[in-house]
Structure 1
Amino acid sequence: MDASTFRRRFRLSKETVHILVQIEDQLEYRYDLNNCVSPINQLLVTLRLYSTGGHLDLVADFAGMHLSTVSRIIVRVSEAIANLSQNYVSMPTNINSIRATQQNFYDVANFPRVIGAVDGTHCRIISPGGDDPEVFRNRKGYFSINAQFVCDSRLKILNVVARWPGSTHDSPIFNNSRLKMDFENNQYQNCLLLGMDMPIKHTY
């Protein structure tokens, strides 16, 4: 595919996908039987699902694979990508990176001292079952995880909390987060964290 077609299909550039190929070792099968799916094709199948938000059977048709194969691939690749988070998802920690982040926000909106923007989003899941599945049903009526994200002015994700059920409001998630504790312990002095519709007791 040419570059623009590839981006339309997978929502990422070829260069970015080549960076993700670092998970290849985790995706390589230990045997070479029954035409094993190569790591790059496993990655592209998963990115296709991410980019379309479609059903597994549609992605299986796109890839020319059986539905059960695609289902297993999605799990393997998603776990491998998630394991990269410690390398890429982190708040700025030294004075130079903090000042650079603040300057980038100021360049966008003339808003000083901002180090990040925080908000929650609902990630749809199927009913988890168990004793109390309804705790995962959000105010819109479907089952979800309420995930909290912090991003910088360039929309790079800096912090993620993704363990709270969908019925949880954004404010308890933040109030019980390590990030709030870091602000209260003055790890981010002279910094602001912007949030929408979050009745938080403290101003940072």
Structure 2
Amino acid sequence: MDSRLRICDIVARWPGSTHDMTIFANSRIKARFDAREFGNAILLGDSGYVLSPYLMTPILNPNTHAEQLYNESHIRTRNIVERLFGVWKRRFPVLAYGLRLQLNTVLAVIVATAVLHNIAREMNEEEPPLPINMQENQMNRLIEEGNVRIPNGNPENINASRNEFIQYFNYL
């Protein structure tokens, strides 16, 4: 996805119960990041992802002001992804409620709704409204609650990449 809430890459071949990290670990985009095709670009993932030099995750129990600012910025930036999914599901409610179709048809519908969503974004269509009970600011709630868990794997070998990134927040 991009900052204009457009879907840039979609793979609709995994069952809904598959963990995000499993999908990412088997993705072409991960292979491209591993090959350093994107230079110094980084990805943001929640604490269900394994920290890597190009995939930054939140810090469990931040101790410094810089770490707290890093976590807050991380959550605010990731919120854009959640917002995209919310807009997409409100625009095409069948994505939220399920499809009773053959698997190949479901995969085609998912990809088709992604394309139609992007066309709607390009045509400056209004976003579907939030349901009344969802209009509270969920991002602030996530920040207040922390929304962090211990990442999978052993992050100690790759904390240096994230720590370099966190140093930026020491100057704010």
Q: With structure 2 as the length reference, what TM-score do the two structures score? A: 0.29
Greater radius of gyration (CA): 1
Q: Larger relative CO (CA 8 A, sep 6+): 1 or 2? A: 2
In proportion to residue count, which structure has more helix? 2
Q: With structure 1 as the length reference, what TM-score do the two structures score? A: 0.25
In proportion to residue count, which structure has more strand? 1
